[in-house]
């Protein structure tokens, strides 16, 4: 997926601010017990943005489902948790014509 011009401009501005020594970013150590929740919330926002992008650019629900299933597959492999594969989104709907 290509990033639009607006996003590119915003990213460049943020990068400029981050590289400027006059700006300081406060950070905290990520608590191990809270990290799964915090990181999953962050990833959920990215996934939602990606799915919205697919929707806005004319991709149908089936493409969105395929992307979700790819994400589930990656997590199952990376975590060695094969049971997650059963959480894939079933092909509940089939296209009327293809």
Residue pLDDT, tens place only, 8-52: 777 787 787 777 766 666 677 888 888 899 889 989 999 999 999
65 within domain boundaries: yes
For the chain, how many structural domains are there in total?
1
The structure's pTM equals 0.62
| Mean pLDDT value across residues 50-68 | 91
Measured N-to-C along each axis, helices 35-56 and 61-79 cross at an angle, to the nearest 10 degrees, of 150
pLDDT at 1: 43
Please state, in angstroms and rounded to a whole number, the distance separating the CA atoms of residues 80 and 68. Answer: 18
Q: Is residue 13 part of a domain?
A: no
User: Which range of residues forms the domain containing residue 34?
Assistant: 29-90
CA distance 61 to 68: 11
- Any domain includes 3: no
Considering the domain boundaries, does residue 14 fall inside one? no
**42 belongs to a structural domain:** yes
Under DSSP, the state recorded for 82 is: G
The answer to whether residue 41 is domain-embedded is yes
């Amino acid at each position: 997926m290509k990033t639009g011009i607006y996003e590119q401009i915003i990213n460049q501005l943020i990068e400029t601010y981050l590289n400027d020594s006059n700006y300081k970013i406060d950070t905290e150590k990520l608590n191990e017990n809270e990290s799964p929740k915090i990181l999953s919330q962050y990833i959920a926002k990215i996934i939602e943005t990606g799915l919205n992008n697919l929707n806005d650019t004319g991709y149908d629900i089936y493409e969105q489902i395929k992307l979700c299933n790819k994400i589930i597959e990656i997590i199952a492999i990376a975590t060695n948790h094969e049971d997650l594969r059963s959480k894939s989104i079933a092909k509940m709907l089939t296209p009327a014509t293809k």
